[in-house]
Amino acid sequence: MPKIRIEGNHELNGEVTISGAKNSAVALIPAAILSTSSVIYNVPKITDIDYLIKILELLNCKVEMKDGNLYIDSSKSKNADIPEELSVQMRASYYFMGALLAKFKRAEICYPGGCKIGNRPIDLHIKGFEALGAKVTQIKSKFIIEADFLKGAKIYLDFPSVGATINIMLAATAAEGTTIIDNAAKEPEIVNVASFLINMGCKITGAGTDKIIIEGGRSLHKGVVEVLPDRIEAGTYLIIGALLGDLKIKNVIAEHIHAVLVKLKEVGVKYEIQKDGILIHKCNNINPTTITTLGFPGFPTDLQQPFTTLLTQAEGKSIINETIYESRFRNAEYLNIMGANTKLISFDTLEINGKTPLRGADVYSTDLRAGASLLVAGLIANGITTIDNIELILRGYEDVVEKLQKIGAKIELIP
Ligand code: EPZ
């Protein structure tokens, strides 16, 4: 597998256009099976999408990707068991559980994959399916989820899980009567999926709030949706701009990264929100801060690792409290190899003592956003950095090498 090679510490200038959101697109594609045919605009070219298209084709759908738009004919779709070699490729394969349960009243699929950042159980998903009347059997890593009949229910999520909220919403579209998802997650990707389902003929209210109401059992038709801009990609490039800018970040919804913008301002970064994007300026005196990750609209857990790299350049002590995952600081050891001074206070708290100049090193991407953190570190480090295991980075950042080369980064893929 190739590596990324960066010659760091070069000023960057120009524009970056944000792609469609990975975490929306990977939910919209399984949802498409509920329609007769559908079009999903602005789909990012990342490997997760390729695997999801393979699963749709396994389900006898005709799929065409053209100019970043996905055309799906699911009028002749047939149920099929989804093999482990496909389901294990990403976390989002589990959205086929809710989608197939709704479409065929039966789903047979193995445990999903996903970044190693914690246990990542799916108990809340299963609890939701069972509340709707499904029987869930687990045989080793395989789940068989089936129902003669799905009936609307009131479901309370012990934790506002993004995945469980979307998966239960998918299943509830076929449940007779009213389903209420209480303590639902409020991420923008949930609104994106709900808008797609509504476009197909579903009746859903409350998406984006902590209470979503689905009137199920309606017949669905063609659906059309556009993938939202990727708020995590946008936040990553804003962090790069704060360190090496000025950068104009285009195709970004500022409200979706409000917490990140607040924190950037707090540490001294200057930016202007303009009508066609955000202009961010390099900041030479970064102040330390404390970050606590929360569900939307709080500070997103997916940006704490890239933000950690920024805080290695802050004068003083910063703290990161990671409240969503149990093991999401694996980038810190590699940042320290590059000269940072971070310390794990406990499994969920990282201390960062800056300002420390970073030097190039050979590092390894343990998970997608750890890889992003090391990419940012390589861009500011003195000397050469190589990042191994980069397929994880390419999963979440469309054309990341090309986008960075375009604004002046000395970055390339090496065999
Ligand atoms: C989605 O993961 C995203 N992935 C994650 O992004 C993101 O970090 C996360 O939401 C939170 O925003 C995709 O959308 C593909 P959760 P998901 O269910 O759905 C626990 C990235 O880098 N939990 O909200 O798995 C779980 O263990 C990825 O792009 C249960 O305990 O997130 C975790 O600690 C990483 N039981 C917490 O909730 C369950 O049944 C958050 O999980 C489900 C989740």
Q: Is the CB of 116 under 6 A from ligand 1?
A: no
Among 376, 399, 373, CA closest to 301:
373
Q: How far is the CA of 247 from the centre of ligand 1 (A)?
A: 30
The pTM of this model reads 0.97
Q: Is the CB of 301 under 6 A from ligand 1?
A: yes
Going by CA atoms, what residue is nearest to atom 26 of ligand 1? 120
Q: How far is the CA of 45 from the centre of ligand 1 (A)?
A: 22
CB atoms near residue 319 (< 10 Å): 15
Structure tokens at 226: 């556009």
Q: Is the CB of 369 under 6 A from ligand 1?
A: yes
Ligand 1, residues 19, 23, 138, 189: which to mutate, most atoms within 8 A of Cβ?
23
**Would you call 115 a catalytic residue per the annotation?**
yes
Is residue 274 classed as helix, strand or coil in its secondary structure? strand
Going by CA atoms, what residue is nearest to atom 37 of ligand 1? 324
Instruction: Quote the pLDDT of residue 415.
Output: 86
Instruction: Quote the pLDDT of residue 52.
Output: 96
Q: Would strands 349-354 and 316-321 be described as parallel, antiparallel, or unpaired?
A: antiparallel
Q: Scan for tokens 């923008």, then name that residue.
A: 188
| pLDDT by residue, tens only, the chain of 415 residues | 889 999 999 999 999 999 999 999 999 999 999 999 999 999 999 999 999 999 999 999 999 999 999 999 999 999 999 999 998 889 999 999 999 999 999 999 998 988 889 989 999 999 999 999 999 999 999 999 999 999 999 999 999 999 999 999 999 999 999 999 999 999 999 999 999 999 999 999 999 999 999 999 999 999 999 999 999 999 999 999 999 999 999 999 999 999 999 999 999 999 999 999 999 999 999 999 999 999 999 999 999 999 999 999 999 999 999 999 999 999 999 999 999 999 999 999 999 999 999 999 999 999 999 999 999 999 999 999 999 999 999 989 999 999 999 999 999 999 8
CA 296 to ligand 1: nearest atom: 12
Is 254 within 8 Å of 68 (Cβ atoms)? no
The alpha carbon dihedral of 142, 101, 392, 207 has a sign of negative
Q: Is the CB of 325 under 6 A from ligand 1?
A: yes
Q: How far is the CA of 402 from the centre of ligand 1 (A)?
A: 29
Q: How far is the CA of 325 from the centre of ligand 1 (A)?
A: 8
Q: Which amino acid, one-letter code, is at 88?
A: V
Going by CA atoms, what residue is nearest to atom 11 of ligand 1? 162
Ligand 1, residues 87, 125, 127, 161: which to mutate, most atoms within 8 A of Cβ?
161
Q: Is the CB of 18 under 6 A from ligand 1?
A: no
> What is the 8-class DSSP label of residue 13?
-
CA 301 to ligand 1: nearest atom: 8
Going by CA atoms, what residue is nearest to atom 34 of ligand 1? 325
Ligand 1, residues 324, 368, 375, 397: which to mutate, most atoms within 8 A of Cβ?
324
Q: How far is the CA of 31 from the centre of ligand 1 (A)?
A: 18
Among 227, 292, 285, CA closest to 260:
292
CA 387 vs CA 9, 164, 232, 373, 374: distances in Å: 16, 33, 20, 11, 8
Which helix (H) or strand (E) element contains residue 258?
Answer: helix 258-266
Sheet holding 106-110, edge to edge: 106-110, 142-146, 135-139
Write the Ramachandran bin of 140: left for phi over 0, alpha for psi from -120 to 50, otherwise beta.
Answer: left
Among residues 61, 110, 115, 202, which one is catalytic?
115
3-state helix, strand, coil in the chain (%, to 5): 35, 30, 35
Q: Is the CB of 127 under 6 A from ligand 1?
A: no
Sheet holding 62-66, edge to edge: 62-66, 69-73, 37-41, 223-226
Q: Is the CB of 302 under 6 A from ligand 1?
A: yes
CA 162 to ligand 1: nearest atom: 24
Instruction: Quote the pLDDT of residue 51.
Output: 93
